[in-house]
Amino acid sequence: MKSSFAKFVFLSSSNVKKMFLVNFLLFAPMVVILYTLFRLVPLVFNYVDSMNVSIVDVNPAYKSLIVVVISDDSVIGDNSGIGDDAQRRFWGGNQVYVFQRKGFNGLRKHIFLSRSDESSFSLLRERALAYAFVENLPGPVKLFDKTGAELLVLQIENIRRDAVEIVFYRRGIVPDRKMLVFYVILFILSFILVAGSLGGAADFTQRVVFHEVKGFSYLIKSIERNFFRSIFVSFLYALVCGAVAANIYFYIFIMSTDFSVFIAAVNFWMLMFFFFILLWVYPLLVLNEEESVWKVLRKSLYISFDNLEFAVRTMFFLVPLFVISLATLTIFPGVAGIFSYLNNALKEVSSRYNRPDMT
């Protein structure tokens, strides 16, 4: 594995111009994808959040807030005559908190402990901008800050029993409809352009790994040749990653129960398993141009499981490459660097099947 990484570093340093050629070719559409995702993903999460709890109005003095609704339907009898909030909480009912975004992560555990732990309940009351004990749901809820000024108005619907709803609010998150359509179209076009180019980028870097001299014209022809197959594989990646990410968000922030956190963890490891079995798809896609995509997927699955330790280590080295690529807006090491490393690793693992003792 170390030799594979060393070869990757050597080849990349010896072919810097070719690597940057690929990265600069895809730079503009990659930046557009990242920017449109930055604008659209919060809208999707905001829409999911608002299915049960929607923010109707907010005091303009507040730009960023977090609303927490703790549902408890275990009400025994009529508790309307109980004046003390702590007594009413233990008697049963629903609580609504509003927090500043800054410092909220340190309060997460206290949200789940607040029903049984008095100190957690007191801490939430102390740190909250506003708090309300709500007996009749669904319906509108108006909250006031500690100065008595109206903070926000909520519309609460379909709260599940013994659940926690967390809603993130940021002013200006929703653009006008024309801009929203523009972002969606821009994302789709950029995704198609990048997704269709990945197969050609993998092929071009593969020629570098195999010490073949190829120029810019070969890169363009390879992108054309692998365009639709590359789009199919990229769409499969995006579909699975999007579905799993949505599941993780739903079970952590929407369901918000102990069991849902466990399900979210299972989804995360499913995503890792998906990346593991499809680790070699792009390099194999250009090596097996005459075979169907499904056969290429099966080959990737076989190589990963037949070389389990090697594949795990390959994924381990890919993580920092991916993080650095995002930090540099895919300029370095970028798409070319990641594919160069994968092609090097695949070349090394393929040599094991060509040894005399393997026949």
**Residue 217 has what pLDDT?**
92
**Residue 76 has what pLDDT?**
36
Q: Which amino acid, residue 45?
A: F
Q: Within the chain, which residues score under 50 in pLDDT?
A: 74-83, 87-88, 90-91, 357-359
Cis amide prior to 60 (ω within 30 degrees): no
Per-residue DSSP letter, 252: I
**Residue 6 has what pLDDT?**
74
Supply φ then ψ for residue 170, to 5 degrees: -140, 125
CB atoms within 10 A of CB 35: 15
**Residue 27 has what pLDDT?**
95
Give, to the nearest 10 degrees, the angle between helix 216-249 and helix 293-306: 70
Token readout for 94 is 């629903």
Dihedral over Cα of 95, 99, 101, 103: its sign: negative
Query: Rounded distance, CA 60 to CA 151, Å?
Result: 9
DSSP state string for 142-175: EEE-TTS-EEEEEEE--PPTT-EEEEEEETT-S-
DSSP state string for 68-94: EEE------S--TT---HHHHHHH--E
Dihedral over Cα of 167, 171, 177, 181: its sign: negative
SS3 55: strand
**Residue 4 has what pLDDT?**
67
Token readout for 13 is 């340093």
Q: What is the pLDDT of residues 280-321, one digit of tens each?
A: 999 999 999 889 999 999 999 999 999 999 999 899 889 999
Q: Tell me if the pTM is above 0.75.
A: no
- The radius of gyration of the chain's CA atoms, rounded to the nearest angstrom, is 26
Token readout for 276 is 């593991």
Q: What is the pLDDT of residues 310-353, one digit of tens each?
A: 999 899 889 999 999 999 989 989 999 999 999 999 988 888 77
